[in-house]
Amino acid sequence: MRLLTALAAATLAASAALLPVGPALAGDGPSGSACPSTNFELLIVDDLTAQGYMVPALVDESGNNNGLVCGDPFTRWQQRLFCFKFGPCTVPIIYNFTDDIIFPR
């Protein structure tokens, strides 16, 4: 029960950012930007916003506001559990978003 509660709490904000189209990866992001772990993908906020995602812009604005965020895609099991608990999911990818880290040069 704790796992389900923790999963629901950790992903509630991400559920507001759902859209049926997957986001583009930030291949040429500013040097020195990175995600907190290998599970996260560096994503471009403008691309996500154009696809209807709202949470990445909020995460970036409250962080370093450089136009990049990190997204940790749910596993199939996590996504099925989330969709079962909170209703039908209409997107192929659900992310847990966090701001990227900028390393000083």
How many residues does the structure list for the chain? 105
Predicted confidence (pLDDT) per residue in 86-104, tens digit: 887 766 678 899 999 877 6
pLDDT > 70? residue 105: no
70/86: higher pLDDT: 70
CA distance 6 to 25: 27
CA distance 37 to 31: 17
Predicted confidence (pLDDT) per residue in 1-32, tens digit: 454 343 333 443 344 344 334 444 444 444 56
Structure tokens at 61: 């604005």
Phi, psi of 30 (to 5 degrees): -60, 140
